[in-house]
Homo-oligomer: A and B are copies of this chain.
Amino acid sequence: MATRTVEDYIKRIYLEQQAGLELVPFGRLASAMDVVPGTVTTMVKALADSGLVGYEPRQGVRLTPAGEMLALHVLRRHRLIELFLVRVLRFDWSEVHDEAEELEHAVSERLIERIDELLGRPGYDPHGDPIPDATGRVAQRNLESLSSARSSGRGTIARIADQDPEFLRYATDRGLIPGAVLTVESVDPIGESIRLVVGDRSLTLGRTAAAKILVAWASPLGSDLDRVDAGTNG
């Protein structure tokens, strides 16, 4: 059985790859895992020995198919737990991440199956992240970051790519939650801000905040000039 540490490393590598890196640099992994670089070198070698990752010395790590399977299972547990905490235990979506970070390593396959069943086999967690099914399959969506909007338009918020409780509470206060319909009023590329309307509120977001809001546009719009590089959590 993979230890808690191994599961967290593998999940992290998966999320970094998901965010666009083919090969995750050791330094990035070190800061994401909050350990010193030498620790990553050691761990990556151990992970490679157990067949979960491959790596190019001085270049970075990449998951093997076995590693990806493990990552998907951990992510499945994490996201189902988050949704369970929100739906059944009435936690706020801003405070479930840390709890899930622990529980994801403690729940049995049987318990996760019960939770999945009780929740009606949901496809997405409270933050809009897709929940892999028991075989590891994940729904693919073509979302665009609000920061990539080039002109005004209308869309639905599908995902918030940040787990920080403070940001999530800020988003909640402004109605920026998955499912909410939003209208881009204007974009200021030089000032790096975007004006929008959500419900009956009108607000302005800066580029990095906007980058965390993933939207499904009602009509084709926006460009893919800047990559969706936010969202490295579960």
Contact = CB atoms under 8 A, between A and B. Distances in A.
Nearest to A118: B89
Given A105-B106, A106-B105, A106-B106, A111 B88 contact: no
B103 A107 contact: yes
A103 B184 CA distance: 45
A73 to B, nearest CB: 16
A28 B50 CA distance: 36
Interface string A102-119: 110111101100110010
B102 A108 contact: yes
Q: Which 10 A-B pairs have the closest CB atoms?
A: A106-B106, A102-B106, A89-B114, A103-B106, A99-B108, A99-B111, A89-B118, A88-B88, A105-B106, A89-B111
Interface residues of A, number: 18
A90 B115 CA distance: 10
A105 B106 CA distance: 8
A93 to B, nearest CB: 15
Contacts of A170: none
Contacts of A167: none
A117 to B, nearest CB: 9
B99 A114 contact: no
Nearest to A105: B106
Contacts of A98: 108
Interface in A81-102: 85, 88-91, 98-99, 102
21 contacts: A85-B111, A88-B88, A89-B111, A89-B114, A89-B115, A89-B118, A90-B114, A91-B114, A98-B108, A99-B107, A99-B108, A99-B110, A99-B111, A102-B106, A102-B107, A102-B108, A103-B103, A103-B106, A103-B107, A105-B106, A106-B106
